[in-house]
Amino acid sequence: MSDKEIFIPPWEMHDLKRVRKLNLNKLETPCYVVDEDSLERNLKILASVKKRTGCKILLAQKGFSSFHYYPLIRKYLDGVCASGIFEAKLGREEFKKEIHIYGPAYSDKDFNQLLKISDHIILNSFSQLERFKPLMKKAKNVEFGIRINPEYSEIECDMYNPAGKMSRFGLKSYELKDKDLSIISGIHFHVLCEENSDTLERVLKHVEEKFGEYISLPNIKWVNFGGGHHITRNDYDVEKLVTLVNDFKKKYKKQVILEPGEAVALNAGLLVASVIDIKKMSFGVDVVILDMSASNHVPDVIEMPYRPTIIEASAPGKQKFTYRLGGPTCLSGDVIGDYSFEKPLVVGQKLIFCNMAIYTMVKNNTFNGVGLPSIYNYKKSGQIKLVKKFGYKDFKERLG
């Protein structure tokens, strides 16, 4: 089958030559395979944006936090952003560059720890700012920001829309009126999800209209554009992004920060699974049980939801043999989807799922006592190296 016949969205295309050179016999399934060459390709694109704009780019660990790759990533990026205390600690211990954190709220315990390990701490409300202000005034080498809500987003799925009507994220413009922002050094917004730079252009118009006077304050040093910038996908308009960042910096004289999660490891990871049973059905399509689970190993398939791409598979009915692919758990909804193949599947056959580095390893679980997939590094040289193997102890010690 030609590359054009493979059911892959135009912006979700792995390096198929490298995928086909992957020695599947060396992989114990289920497993994630991170392609070091594709990861570095993404990083070089991000580094070029940094060079042309002078902006800072951070790894959003909520999307990809396999610290085995931090030595490579920190060659190109400025630091990490964290969403919780453990991510902040991981960034400090393993990335060893700038640590930026945002959370909807901080406990007293966490905030005191964050003061010791963070470079930027972004607050979500004035109640938290007032509560922690005495500590903030004493803090050394930490800058504080406030998250804003532009009340504009083009995200259609409510679950992922941080600017929705009832969003708990950020302050609206009327909430800033007559407030003392003297202790604040930066402003943060995040209203994108897997979007191109034309969306950012429209978002910035709303941000400037509602918050321009606050961005212009002399004590504001930086503006963080958040994440959701799909910079490394092949239809992303990088030139527009560069123009937007440079124009913003020229107008306001502020440092711009981007914190993509997906763009860092987009199309740099695979998940390889094996067929463990084929259940013949008297109606509909036959059901294939894999040793990987949607609910355990790729939960966004159910939560978002979305349909992952499989190498050599097509939409149902497009090729000769159509199957419903499901996982090994007791959850009735543990279904990946319906796919068609040129040849019938057999027990023991391995399937390769695309774009599985992001929001997979960071979200997986051991529901039903199903083990976590191993992690392999597919080195630029073509060698495969086992990074991490999980077992019963990892399951048991989570709950004991």
Question: Rounded distance, CA 375 to CA 55, Å?
Answer: 32
Q: Look at residue 345 and tell me if it is in a domain.
A: yes
Residue that is last in its domain, among 265, 293, 319: 265
For residue 15, the model assigns a pLDDT of: 81
8 has pLDDT over 70: no
Question: Rounded distance, CA 204 to CA 192, Å?
Answer: 11
For residue 218, the model assigns a pLDDT of: 98
Find out whether 373 and 271 touch, Cβ atoms under 8 Å. yes
Residue that is last in its domain, among 225, 244, 265: 265
Place of tokens 């399937």: 351
User: Alpha carbon of 309 to those of 51, 313, 339: distances in Å?
Assistant: 33, 8, 9
Structure-token pair, residue 210: 């509602």
146 and 176 part of one domain: yes
For residue 280, the model assigns a pLDDT of: 95
Cβ neighbours around 210 below 10 Å, total: 18
- Name residue 1's amino acid: M
Element containing residue 384 per DSSP (H, E): strand 384-388
9 has pLDDT over 60: no
Distance of CA 69 to the CA centre of its chain: 15
For residue 7, the model assigns a pLDDT of: 46
Tens-place pLDDT, residues 347-390: 999 999 999 999 999 999 999 999 999 999 999 999 999 999 99
147 and 248 part of one domain: yes
For residue 104, the model assigns a pLDDT of: 97
221 and 116 part of one domain: yes
Q: The domain spanning residue 356 has which CATH number?
A: 2.40.37.10
Tens-place pLDDT, residues 308-328: 999 999 999 999 999 999 999
207 and 275 part of one domain: no
Question: Rounded distance, CA 372 to CA 299, Å?
Answer: 13
Residue that is last in its domain, among 244, 265, 286: 265
Confidence of residue 2 (pLDDT cuts 50, 70, 90): very low
Range of the domain at 84: 54-265
Distance of CA 58 to the CA centre of its chain: 12
Helix, strand, coil percent values for the chain (each to nearest 5): 35, 20, 45
For residue 305, the model assigns a pLDDT of: 86
Q: Look at residue 275 and tell me if it is in a domain.
A: yes
Tens-place pLDDT, residues 44-54: 999 999 999 99
Q: What is the mean pLDDT of residues 87-97?
A: 98
For residue 284, the model assigns a pLDDT of: 87
Structure-token pair, residue 55: 């902006």
If DSSP codes are grouped into helix, strand and coil, which group holds residue 89? helix
Q: The domain spanning residue 72 has which CATH number?
A: 3.20.20.10
What share of the chain has pLDDT > 70, as a percent?
97
Q: How many domains does the chain have?
A: 2
Residue ranges of alpha helices (H) inside 8-35 are: 16-21
61 and 203 part of one domain: yes
308 and 260 part of one domain: no
